[in-house]
């Protein structure tokens, strides 16, 4: 594993803990843009030499989806209203 890959892995592990604690355990809802911002901010402050502001939210979302699978739901704005009405609270939402 390259050093740069290890630093991104460290950053993702930090975000993983945040998602587990705040979203899955506490039931909070966060926008993908907020998670992306947290990821970039952590990388910028903890690993500034490897900070890449061009790291995409799509790439991060794919990683989150692969890691958490069906535990998380990414809502589209029009689906949010429908999901709220059905009261499906068995999965955490982003």
Question: Strands (DSSP E) along 1-94, which ranges?
Answer: 72-73, 92-93
Give CA–CA dist 22/92, Å, rounded. Answer: 10
Residue 91's CB is within 10 A of a number of other CB atoms, namely 13
Q: How many domains does the chain have?
A: 1
| pTM passes above 0.85 | no
- Give the helix/strand (H/E) hosting 2: none
Instruction: Quick: pLDDT tens for 1-32.
Output: 799 899 999 999 999 999 999 999 999 999 99
Instruction: Quick: pLDDT tens for 61-94.
Output: 999 999 999 998 888 776 555 545 445 555 565 6
Which value, in Å, is the radius of gyration of the alpha carbons in the chain?
Answer: 14
Domain with 75, as residue range(s), is: 3-93
* First-residue to last-residue Cα distance in the chain: 30
């Amino acid at each position: 594993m390259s050093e740069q890959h290890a630093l991104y892995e460290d950053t993702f592990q930090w975000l993983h803990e945040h998602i587990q604690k705040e979203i899955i355990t506490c039931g909070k809802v966060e926008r993908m843009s907020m998670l992306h911002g947290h990821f970039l901010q952590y990388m910028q402050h903890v690993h500034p030499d490897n900070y890449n502001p061009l790291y995409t939210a799509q790439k991060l979302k794919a990683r989150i989806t692969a890691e958490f699978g069906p535990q998380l739901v990414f809502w589209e704005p029009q689906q949010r209203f429908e999901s709220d009405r059905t009261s499906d609270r068995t999965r955490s939402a982003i």
